Amino acid sequence: MDVYILGIESSCDDTSASVTKNNIVLSNVIANQEIHKKYGGVVPELASRAHQQNIIPVVDSALRLAKIKKKQLSAIAFTRGPGLLGSLLVGTSFAKSFALGLEIPLLEIDHLQAHILAHFIQEENKSHSVPNFPFLCLTVSGGHTQIVLVKDYFDMEVIGRTIDDAAGEAFDKAAKIMGLPYPGGPHIDRLAKHGNPLAFHFPRPRIPDPDFSFSGLKTSFLYFLRDRLKENDQFIENNKHDLSASIQFTIVDILLSKLLAASKKTGVIEIAIAGGVSANSLLRETILKQKEERGWNVFIPELQYSTDNAAMITIAGYFKYQSGQFADQKVSPYSRSGN
Ligand code: KG4
Ligand code: ZN
């Protein structure tokens, strides 16, 4: 029998709902919260309020686009964590009451596992190849940077992690220093297309493989610009393309070197990338090149499944549904991994 799942994602500043039929996505609706732009970052209190306003219309349009009636749903999946607690509470409470009202099971999903499981999303009339277990996944988002050895759908071992900032934070903080809007990653990506990646050199962190550190890079970028601005107050404006290309090149170079170390250490050449930063065009290009250069089997998610979305929650829910891993009504969200 076909399994229809409604998934809800509300861990940060995007309210998203999706419906799947087995492993096929029928709809994936995302409402971005514009309100945070003027504050230069996500304001947690405003995020949860916006989730409350968005959640019903977003779920409603996900069901309509999928042409599925509430009564046809087999289960409700929701992001339990990690993320902003107030935001997670909106999605969690909504999912719980919806499941209770419809008398169907509830599936609790870890946001980071879902980013990885996004690789198993299929679309109607458009099948694509999926990674084989075990594979390595570089999960790079605004809050996390990890290299995960994925042995099965829910058997994942984190073998490398950041000791301070996440890769997305490195992009966003560099962008903020340059006066670009939040989130800065996509702006740096766009400006870098017309810049020289070798125009400026920034030091790489000295930290044992395959762990990451990005806070030193942010500081050296800040001090470098502070010194240059003393000589020329138009330095950023005159060099924004080269600055973007150089900082992007440095971040991607660090990510690739750690991924290479992890592949060497584990002997795994089945390689995937996931999370918001996996939307970065240089990272995608660089990982794809390793196909020829190192014989890696490379998996890159479609752009709409790289950044936060509910389709990844729904697909993770489908695999949990199949193995009977249901949550009960007492389930509560967690803000950090490992809780
Ligand atoms: O996974 P995600 O949507 O949300 C979290 O779970 O954090 O990731 C958001 C992060 C932000 O830091 C954003 O700047 C970054 O992903 N990002 C990018 C690009 N698109 C999104 N970073 C670099 N290049 C991009 N094209
Ligand atoms: Zn995310």
CA 130 to chain centre: 18
Read off the pLDDT of each residue in 135-155 and give the average, rounded to a whole number: 97
Peptide linkage before 82 cis (omega within 30 of 0): yes
Q: How far is the CA of 104 from the centre of ligand 1 (A)?
A: 33
* Cα 116–Cα 255–Cα 271 angle in degrees, nearest 5: 40
Residue nearest to atom 7 of ligand 1 (CA): 142
CATH number of 4-121+305-323: 3.30.420.40
pLDDT tens per residue across span 110-133 = 999 999 999 999 999 888 899 999
Q: How far is the CA of 185 from the centre of ligand 1 (A)?
A: 6
The domain segmentation of the chain, as residue ranges, is 4-121+305-323, 135-300
Query: What three-state secondary structure class fits 224?
Result: helix
CB count, 10 Å around CB of 130?
A: 15
Instruction: Check whether 339 has a pLDDT greater than 50.
Output: no
Dig out the tokens for 324 from the structure. 């009977």
Nearest in space to 275 (alpha carbons), one of 143, 171, 179, 161? 143
Ligand closest in space to the Cα of 193: 1
* pLDDT (0 to 100) of residue 225: 98
Instruction: Check whether 180 has a pLDDT greater than 70.
Output: yes
* pLDDT (0 to 100) of residue 338: 53
CATH architecture of 135-300: 2-Layer Sandwich (3.30)
256 touches 287 (CB < 8 A): yes
Q: Which residues lie below 8 Å from residue 268, measured CB to CB, with a gap of 6+?
A: 134, 135, 136, 149, 262
Residue nearest to atom 10 of ligand 1 (CA): 142
Is the pTM value of this prediction over 0.85? yes
Question: Rounded to whole angstroms, how far apart are CA atoms 116 and 140?
Answer: 10
The confidence band for 42, taking pLDDT boundaries of 50, 70 and 90, is confident
Q: Which of 37, 84, 141, 278 to mutate to test the pocket of ligand 1 (most atoms within 8 A of CB)?
A: 141
139 touches 220 (CB < 8 A): no
Ligand 1 proximal residues by C-beta, below 6 Å: 12, 141-143, 168, 171-172, 183-186, 189, 275-277, 279-280, 307-308
The confidence band for 34, taking pLDDT boundaries of 50, 70 and 90, is confident
